[in-house]
Copies of this chain bind each other. A is one copy, B any other.
Amino acid sequence: MMNEAQALDAFASLSQETRLRIVRLLVIAGPDGLSAGAIGQAMDGASSSRMSFHLSHLEHAGLVASRREGRSIIYSAAFAALADLAAFLMRDCCQGHPEVCVPAVAALSSRCRSGVGAKRAARA
């Protein structure tokens, strides 16, 4: 479970335009991920050193993972960490005021239509 220091690192990573775009790109790309070069292309051709700086920032914050594949390094979103971060943000929000927290969870759930019949997947 996420602690304050981890959350601070994660939020710092996400507060930078290029990094936020990288994360969203990787979230959409799914578990297979994308190479550093491909990500750089997508960030209107950012320099490789700039990419490397931001990617290692994100990796240090635990928001992405990397693996080597040939000469490329493939980055992918750390979905569990993103989920944890979202949970951290809402932690303790229901203390006597469920009417305040429930719409938040509802909004999030509605983005994930597969959630309804996916209890089996959630257990895995």
Q: Report how many copies the assembly holds.
A: 2
Q: Does A70 contact B (CB under 8 A)?
A: no
Q: Per-residue 0/1 for A86-117: is the Cβ within 8 Å of any B Cβ (1 yes, 0 no)?
A: 11011111111111111111111101111100
Q: Known: A20-B8, A86-B86. Contact between A115 and B111, CB under 8 A?
A: no
B102 with A90: CB separation less than 8 A: no
A101 with B105: CB separation less than 8 A: no
Name the one of B20, B96, B109 contacting A11, with C-beta atoms under 8 angstroms.
Answer: B20
Name the one of B4, B7, B105, B113 contacting A108, with C-beta atoms under 8 angstroms.
Answer: B105
Q: Which residues of B contact A15 (CB under 8 A)?
A: 8, 11-12, 14-15
Q: Which residues of A contact B (CB under 8 A)?
A: 4, 7-8, 11-12, 14-17, 20-21, 24, 27-28, 30-31, 79-80, 82-87, 89-109, 111-115, 118, 121-122, 124
> Would you give the shortest CB distance from A124 to chain B, in whole angstroms?
7
A101 with B112: CB separation less than 8 A: yes
B92 with A82: CB separation less than 8 A: no
